[in-house]
Amino acid sequence: MKSKFLKSEHIKLYKRENSEYWQMKIKLPKKKAIRSSTGSKILKESEKIALKYYSSLSIENKIHIKRNEKNIYKKIHLVETADLDRKEIEFFLNEAKKFISFNKKRIKKNNLLEGRTIFNLFFEDSTRTRTSFEVAAKRLGADIINVAVKDSSINKGETLLDTMTTINSMNPDVLIVRHPEEGISKRISLNVDASVINAGDGSHEHPTQALLDALTIKNRFKNFSKLQIAICGDILHSRVARSNIIILSKLGAKINVIGPREWLPKNIKKLPVTVFTDMKKGLKNCDIVMMLRIQKERIVGKIMPNQKIYFNKYGLDYNKLKYAKKNAFVMHPGPMNRGVEIDSKLADDVTRSLIQEQVAMGVAIRMACLDILIKNRDNVFKH
């Protein structure tokens, strides 16, 4: 019997001794194998037929995403982690799980949010958050509009709230907003019908970042209550730190914050954290070391630290990582400044660094957020 594999083990072409025609065997993951004749005597032609058949079967084999009818989170906006209780946080993480496997599929397309309109409104720079919301929306079949806010009528004097109510009149389902003003997402949410997601408001909050960080940690450790997590660096100006402190402590983790005294918020003692200014002491017994970017854009009128001195004292390298638990993992929300906040080699060390996994979890969490909020909004505004 002659045989040939196409696409690794998934398609086999073979010719039995007594047959003139090529046969194909197609085996998709978790599906029964299909055997059929290509109807062709010529190998090249049968390869084409088999690949076409394989491709159409793969599209049919798209994951059917089952919606969880037991909705724990019932609000239509996601603007502050302070609004979330532990059960709601766990609900977001559990809902995101199905999208992790979906995102590993060859064909990543579903019609769960077909016909829905989502606006990305980023008044501050972004790579990860903006693109992952776009990827998330497109994978679920929604239409997403990236508003070029730098070229918008805000430049002609229109207020931000007027811009938002104008876009709201186009009947969008979700507005995703990043803006330097603290609390602006909440204000917008009180003025529009669309769901609002806070994609970062000044130094205040970045809820989807903290949810994706929690999901990344959950993939490695099942139980948050046994975890000691260090959050290190520019705590004062970091919305990621604030949202993570709230989310991770609600899940039961113990948090150490470590940073220069001048970069610790005045109210830090009111937060559920233990405070350190020394990496050696702060990293002791930690399972996770989360590094933060120095938020240069928010440090105005103050002298920036010398980068080399900062790295020596607060930058994470293999030597400082030894102060944490053996095999502790490293995280960074990005964008990272290599050689300032984190040693470049350590950042790329996939045995210790979860940085790329954080990005992947960002898409899954944002798919879950869009799905949950749109479903909730449907229940509020029954059209």
- Which residues of the shown chain bind ligand CP in the complex (CB under 6 A)? 126-129, 200, 209, 333-335
Going 363 to 369 to 375 to 381, the CA torsion angle's sign is negative
Of 46 and 244, which CB lies nearer to ligand CP in the complex structure? 244
Of 50 and 121, which CB lies nearer to ligand CP in the complex structure? 121
Concatenate the DSSP letters of all residues of 37-105 into one string. E-S-SSHHHHHHHHHHHHHHHHHHTPPPPPP-SS-----S-B--GGG--HHHHHHHHHHHHHHHHHTTS
Of 132 and 228, which CB lies nearer to ligand CP in the complex structure? 132
Of 131 and 219, which CB lies nearer to ligand CP in the complex structure? 131
Of 172 and 333, which CB lies nearer to ligand CP in the complex structure? 333
Nearest distance from residue 207's CB to ligand CP, in Å? 11
Nearest distance from residue 128's CB to ligand CP, in Å? 4
Amino acid at 200: G
DSSP letter assigned to residue 331: E
Nearest distance from residue 210's CB to ligand CP, in Å? 10
Q: Give the helix/strand (H/E) hosting 355.
A: helix 355-380
Residue 313: count of CB within 10 angstroms of its CB: 14
Nearest distance from residue 359's CB to ligand CP, in Å? 9
What is the rounded distance in angstroms from the CA atom of residue 319 to the CA atom of residue 203? 30
What is the rounded distance in angstroms from the CA atom of residue 229 to the CA atom of residue 15? 59
Nearest distance from residue 294's CB to ligand CP, in Å? 13
Q: What angle do CA 68, 74, 77 make, to 5 degrees?
A: 115
What is the rounded distance in angstroms from the CA atom of residue 135 to the CA atom of residue 109? 10
Nearest distance from residue 129's CB to ligand CP, in Å? 3
Tokens at 31, concatenated:
């599906």
Nearest distance from residue 216's CB to ligand CP, in Å? 12
Nearest distance from residue 109's CB to ligand CP, in Å? 24
Nearest distance from residue 303's CB to ligand CP, in Å? 24
Q: What angle do CA 292, 210, 124 make, to 5 degrees?
A: 65
The phi and psi torsions of 231 (rounded to 5 degrees) equal -115, 120
Of 46 and 209, which CB lies nearer to ligand CP in the complex structure? 209
Nearest distance from residue 304's CB to ligand CP, in Å? 19
Task: Give yes or no for a contact between 22 and 46, defined as CB atoms under 8 angstroms apart.
Answer: yes
Residue 256: burial class (beta carbons within 10 Å; 0-12, 13-18, 19+): buried
Of 188 and 291, which CB lies nearer to ligand CP in the complex structure? 291
Of 334 and 339, which CB lies nearer to ligand CP in the complex structure? 334
What strands lie across the sheet with 11-15, from one edge to the other?
A: 2-6, 11-15, 23-26, 34-37
Of 319 and 356, which CB lies nearer to ligand CP in the complex structure? 356
Of 50 and 196, which CB lies nearer to ligand CP in the complex structure? 196
Nearest Cα to Cα of residue 199 among 233, 188, 88:
188
* Strand runs labelled E in 180-238: 195-201, 228-232
